[in-house]
Structure 1
């Protein structure tokens, strides 16, 4: 049987939703970019996954919620990897990519998002039922 630690889940969901407004990337002239400015598709897919996770939490679909938290963690890894590769291989030219990768920097928004994802992962716990 799987149980949900409600406080971990609520705080994790709030942190994940609020992290989309934190700076994810530092662009030289334009300043800090949030997740929407980094990539709109990445933002909408992330919000869709988090929205479905929140919906499953509130309708108490425990197994589906647990599955969506794992999907959220996998999506975090895919998104940070995709942004890193986009920074380092943007043009496909060695010189331009090296220049771009030195000027663009990841910001602390990724860490806030990771904390939210870890709280979501820790919000589910499998316990052994004694009624069997």
Structure 2
């Protein structure tokens, strides 16, 4: 069963967070959204969100559930990828330590994960009654 209001709310929160929320603070430049942080991560996230919208409009609940779990895994891998890229960019301990002290992850990740968790929790399996 799909809770339509929560599904749409999660999709909208996740979509708007990728564009309007800061994901990374870069010195002298300012805050970066997900598009400015990494184009591949942005494209994959928006692609999965568009699949969620497609399956929502076609009322394919099992595909919606699968894609929402896939989006959760994708966002976790994206967060870990950005985190490890900040901490191991050059491969030299001193330079990577200086880079990790200047680049900071921002609150946009939390908003993205809230939207993804709302989307995941909007789908539940219906128990069959015999």
Could you tell me the TM-score, scaled by structure 1's length?
0.96
Structure 1 ranges of 4+ moved more than 6 A: none
CA RMSD of aligned residues (A): 0.7
SS for the counterpart of 1:91 is coil
**Cα distance in structure 2, aligned partners of 1:37 and 1:77:** 18
In the alignment, which residue of structure 2 is the partner of 1:121? 120
Partner deviation per Cα, 1:69-125 (whole Å, 9 max, x = no partner): 000000011000000001000111111100000000000100000100110111001
More helix by share: 2
Q: Write 1 or 2 for the structure with the bigger share of strand.
A: 1
Q: Which runs of 5+ in 2 are unaligned?
A: none
Distance, in Å, in 2 between the alignment partners of 1:128 and 1:41 is: 39
* Distance in 2 of aligned mates of 1:128 and 1:44: 36
Given the two structures, how large is their TM-score scaled by the length of structure 2?
A: 0.97
Partner Cα separation in structure 1 for residue 2 and residue 78 of structure 2 = 26
2:90 equivalent to 1:110: no
